[in-house]
Structure 1
Amino acid sequence: MRTDGDNWDIVSSVGRTALGVATFRALETARPDALIEDEFARWFVEAAADPHFVGLLADPSPLEDTPFFFPGFMGIRTKFFDGFFLSAAAAGVSQAVILAAGLDARAYRLDWPAGATVFEVDQSKVLEFKNEVLTEHGAHAKVDRRPVAVDLRDDWPAALAGAGFDPGRPSAWSAEGLLPYLPGAAHDALFERIDGLSAPGSRLAVDGFGNGADLRRFEAIREKYFPVNPFGDMDVAELFYEDERADPAVWLTGHGWSVDPFTLLELAADYGVPVPPLPEELADLTTRSTYVTAEK
């Protein structure tokens, strides 16, 4: 269960979800029709040596019996945020901020323009693990990468400024797989701070489940339709907060941002990913799984 001020490393609590996401990116990368290419993801999983996730790398077949292959979902999500950053960079936005960066390797994977800077914000133990693995493998970022070790429930704008972030320049922000893990107050403060730090022309991409979603349903639905929990013995929903919070799309629109929403099924169609007929409960979850891009 979550507590105020809790923290984690890469194999515990919220940190372990980042390890799971890296596993699913690695599995998606290995597929012949992969939507993404992330050679770094496997390094992180192998270095962490979590038995469940290492086992899935060796044999992903248990996930293939699920109604919607989980790594394929992660491929869609990853491609969405990849495209967001590449589009922003092509439009001349040279300052990017990845909030709750986890084991994200976009600073190494994507082709950033000259002069771009990528700030990776996350807890110190997560960033330390990530840096150790990348150093061990001799990886080199394709951009000016600046890790920012801070908890997003704390004064992360000050830490970001200390790393050289310039609020006078347009920025591209991402909050990928983050929002349910924040208490309502921190969730709303996140958008207020992003808005206050964003010069005109800034962009933002977020994903979530929309207001009114019963996040505790996830484990019941998982047990009903998924023979194997993709996250092993961890109930991810136990890490979520369900207290009151603003709807991101509504909040951003009300603060002068131009907003474009998408559903998981719309993205799947755009990317040419076939989705089989789903049981009603799973189909409902796909419609509640929302993706938003916004421009100030």
Structure 2
Amino acid sequence: MASHPDSQARASTISTGRWIAAARALETSRSDRLFNDPWAGDLAGDSGKAMLDAADYNPFLPVRTRYFDEQIIDTTGQDCQIVLLGAGLDTRAFRLPLAASCTVFEIDYAEAFAQKESVLRTISPACERRCVPADLSGPWMPALLEAGFDRSTPTVWVAEGLFFYLADSAVESLLRDTASLSAGGSIFLADVFGTGLLALESMAPLVKARTESGRALPFCTDTPDALFRAGGWTNTKLVQPGHPTANFGRLSWAPGVSGAEEQTNLRTYLVTAGL
């Protein structure tokens, strides 16, 4: 019997989380590491490490994580709220120097928390941490509110590596819903890929499989600023990986580069949007 598309999506999401955790473990092992995640190796497990070994390593991954780490630290203070959308095996509630009065909400499938809690159950987070089992493509807001989310407190929403795995409609709804829940001064952090990514040869098997199964293609856009404005988020700032503020000595940066990297539809954007 074929598995249900929803179960396939959940399994894929959990596998991706282990792969990303393996990348964080690899970064942590470096003497010049951009961040320290001492639990990443256990969270990745053998399967995550095997996936990382089988793939070409992407130096963008640690840069993205460090960039969002800095944005979170720079924009949070006392009594802050942080919501990790599609949290996966993220450990920011444990490894970032957050105020004890800060609350981190982690939203993801219940299955994603099962493995995570088995590794972290004896570790104390730096602040209040609340797990919110929910499907971001469905009605997730009631679960967040029930967990104690305060609509009057400015919030940092973080969607690291999430949008690519959602359908267009789910991304658009997510932006509208988060804006509707947010107090003034809230910000939304996300990374977005240009549409040219789907035309790359390496993406052909995925595009073919999605097309043949009738599933939506991974989310990409060449106009992230318009996307966020339509969702109610203004004051959008876009930074490309490799820019001096998103480099950390790992990625090359040359304004006006020639060739494929100059094409808008092949760009990657690190987005910071406010209300």
TM-score scaled to structure 1, two decimals? 0.78
Deviation at 1:114, TM superposition (A): 2.8
Shift of 1:54: 3.3
- Name the amino acid aligned to 1:34: R
Match of 1:153 among 137, 140, 145: 137
Structure 2's unaligned 5+ residue stretches are 211-215
Residues 163, 219 of structure 2: 8 Å contact kept: no
Q: Which of 187, 191, 198 is equivalent to 2:175? A: 191
The equivalences for 1:159-170 within 5 A come to: 159-170=143-154
Give the superposition deviation at 1:35: 1.0
| Paired position in structure 2 for 1:124 | 110
- Ranked by relative contact order (alpha carbons within 8 Å, sequence separation 6 or more), the top structure is 1
Distance 1:36 1:163, change over 3 A: same
> d(CA) in 1 for partners of 2:165 and 2:32?
31
Alignment map for 1:1-296 (pairs within 5 Å): 5-6=6-7, 12-46=11-45, 49-50=46-47, 53-55=48-50, 69-70=57-58, 72-90=59-77, 92=78, 94-135=80-121, 138-210=122-194, 212-217=195-200, 219=202, 241-242=217-218, 247-253=223-229, 255=232, 257-266=234-243, 270-275=247-252, 280-281=259-260, 288-296=267-275
The amino acid across from 1:262 in the alignment is V
Change (3 A) 1:218 1:153: farther
Compute the displacement of 1:282 (Å): 6.5
RMSD: 3.3
Offset of 1:214 from its aligned partner? Answer: 4.1
Change (3 A) 1:182 1:41: same
Say which SS state the counterpart of residue 102 (structure 1) adopts.
coil
- In 2, the alpha carbon distance for the partners of 1:245 and 1:276 equals 22
> TM-score normalized by structure 2?
0.83
1:117/1:143 contact within 8 Å kept: yes
In structure 2, C-alpha distance between the alignment counterparts of 1:195 and 1:271, rounded to whole Å: 31
- Structure 2: how far apart are the matches of 1:149 and 1:140? 20
Against the structure 1 CA distance between its residues 247 and 220, is the aligned structure 2 distance closer, same or farther, given a 3 Å change threshold?
A: closer
Q: Post-superposition shift, 1:155?
A: 0.8
Deviation at 1:5, TM superposition (A): 3.5
Number of corresponding residues: 266
SS in 2 for 1:31: coil
Aligned equivalents of 2:102 and 2:26: distance in 1? 29
In 1, distance between residues paired with 2:208 and 2:115?
Answer: 25
1:189 shift after superposition: 0.3
Q: Give 1:99 deviation, angstroms.
A: 0.1
- Using the TM superposition, give the Cα deviation of residue 80 of structure 1 relative to its aligned residue in structure 2, in angstroms: 1.1
| Structure 1, gaps ≥5 residues long | 222-233
Which secondary structure state, in structure 2, belongs to the residue aligned with residue 213 of structure 1?
helix
What percent of counterpart residues are identical? Answer: 29
Which stretch has the larger CA shift, 247-256 or 138-147?
247-256
Matched residues in 2 for 1:267 and 1:3: separation? 44
From the superposition, tell whether residues 245 and 260 of structure 1 become closer, same or farther in structure 2 (CA, over 3 Å).
Answer: closer
Instruction: Tell whether the 8 Å contact from 1:123 to 1:150 is kept in structure 2 after alignment.
Output: yes
Q: Which whole-Å CA distance do the structure 2 matches of 1:35 and 1:96 have between them?
A: 21
In 2: Cα distance, 1:259 partner to 1:217 partner? 28
